[in-house]
Amino acid sequence: MSINLTRIDERLIHGQVAYSWSVAYPCDEIVVIDDQAAQDDMQKMLLEMAVPEGKGFKLFTVTEGSEYFAKDNGLKSFLVIKDPAVILALVKAGIHFDSINIGGMYFKEGKKEITKTVYLDERDVAVFKELADVGVKLDVRTAPGDKSLELSTVI
């Protein structure tokens, strides 16, 4: 398994993810793990259309993603998810992450502003603390060139 970059972004694949991040962290494929999107053919088609030419695309449920990353396929993957709980589920399934990038978790009722693009509720904070406790670095950046903020220092 070779995950080059893991990013939490509620928009999943969009211009900044598809181009800025996949250039800064070269990859062979963009992998989305999202139970809801994996069951929606229209969402799958839209995500696939956003993937840059020459890059592969996969969309998995959490269970399928755990199985996929448990094996080494020789590809450099850029993993994109919406919810930090997905990362925690993968960690509990034995998938290792040195760090994850948190970029787009937007305002909703009950969420508190951490940065202009990261809003967290109590559940999110608990998940991130659990990830930090197992040694995962929590890198908050909107774009690859932005200054990094270690999330565990502010939650």
> Where in the sequence numbering do the catalytic residues fall?
14
User: Which residue shows structure tokens 């998995």?
Assistant: 60
Q: Give the start-end residues of each E strand in 10-60.
A: 29-33, 56-60
With H, G, I as helix, E, B as strand and everything else as coil, classify residue 96.
coil
The two structure tokens encoding residue 140: 């908050």
30 burial type by CB count under 10 A (0-12 exposed, 13-18 middle, 19+ buried):
buried
Q: How many CB atoms sit inside 10 A of residue 85's CB? A: 16
Cβ atoms of 20 and 144 within 8 Å: the answer is: yes
